[in-house]
Amino acid sequence: MMCCVVGWTEEELNHFWNCVDKSGDCWIHKGAPSSSGYSQCFSSAKGVQNSHRVAYEFFFGQIPKGYLVRHACNNKRCVRPDHLKRGTHANNMQDVSDAQSHPKRKLTQEQAREIRQSSDSQRTLADRFGVDQAAIGNIKSGRTYRELGEPNDRSATVINFGRKNTPKEVIEQIRGASGTYKEIAAKHGVSFSFVGRIKRGEVCKAAKTD
C-alpha cells in the first residue's frame, strides 16, 4: 500500500522515483550523498531529507517519533521498501556493530552473484551497492564469497602476481592514482609495497608475460 508523504507534492514524488535505479537488488536513489553516505532528496516544503526515509513513508506511512529507518541490506543509498525497516537508535547501533564485525559480509550472496555476472565498471557497481571498488574487485576475482565458485572468466578479470589476485581495472586505477602510496593502498585494499611495484611498472611487465 502506498501512502502520501507529508510535505511532498505528487510532482515531487514522481521526480523522486524517476531518480531511482532499480536495475540491481538494491534500489539506488541517485541523489547527492550526505556526509554520512545517505542519498538525499528535496521537497519545497520539507527541504533536504534522506531518501530512504521518504521512501519508507511513501510505502508504510509516517515514522513514529523516536524511531528511525534502518537498512536490512546495509546499503545507505537503497530505497527498496523490503530492504527498509523501522527501528530504534539501539537497533541501528547493533546493525552497525554487526556490519563492522563482518565487513566482508556486507552484501548478500545474491548481490555478490549479481556483481560477479555484471559487465558494468567497478565504479558503477560500487556506487550501486554502496561499497568501495576494492570490495567489488575482491568479489570479481573470487577472493571473497568463495562459496559462489570460481569466476567464469578468471583470466580476463585478474592478473596473478605473486600471491596477489588483483583485478586489472584496479591496477590501472592505482597506476594513475595521485596521493601517497599509503593512501592509495588503503583506498584499493592492497599493500603499500604492491602499490610501489605497480608505480614502478613491475606489475605491468609481469602482466605482459601472462
Pairing of strands 158-161, 84-87: unpaired
Of 44-58, 112-126, 144-158, 165-179, highest mean pLDDT: 44-58
**What does the pLDDT read at residue 144?**
79
As a whole number, mean pLDDT of residues 80-86 equals: 92
As its CATH architecture, domain 10-101 has Alpha-Beta Complex (3.90)
Instruction: Reply yes or no on whether the pLDDT at 177 is more than 90.
Output: no
Q: Give the confidence band of 3 by pLDDT, cuts at 50, 70, 90.
A: low
Residue 159: strand, helix, or coil: strand
Residue 210's pLDDT is what?
40
From residue 81, alpha-carbon distances to 25, 53, 71, 160, 187 in Å are 12, 10, 10, 41, 31
Name 148's Cβ contacts closer than 8 Å, sequence gap at least 6: 109, 112, 113, 116, 142
Q: State pTM to two decimals.
A: 0.50
Residue 81: how many other CB atoms lie within 10 Å: 15
pLDDT level of residue 80 (50, 70, 90 thresholds):
very high
Q: Are the C-beta atoms of 79 and 39 separated by less than 8 Å?
A: yes
Measured CA to CA, the distance from residue 191 to residue 149 in angstroms comes to 25
Residue pair 43/8 in contact (Cβ under 8 Å)? The answer is: yes
Q: pLDDT value at position 151?
A: 67
Average pLDDT over residues 86-102: 67
Higher pLDDT pick, 185 / 28: 28
Give backbone dihedrals phi and psi of 183, rounded to 5 degrees, phi first. Answer: -65, -45
Least confident of 58-62, 98-102, 149-153, 191-195: 98-102
Distance CA 13, CA 58 (A): 9
pLDDT attached to residue 96: 62
Long-range interactions of 87-95: CB distance < 8 A, separation 24+: 92/68, 95/70, 95/71
Q: What is the mean pLDDT of residues 52-81?
A: 90
pLDDT at 125 over 70: yes
Question: CATH 3.90.75.20 spans which residues of the chain?
Answer: 10-101
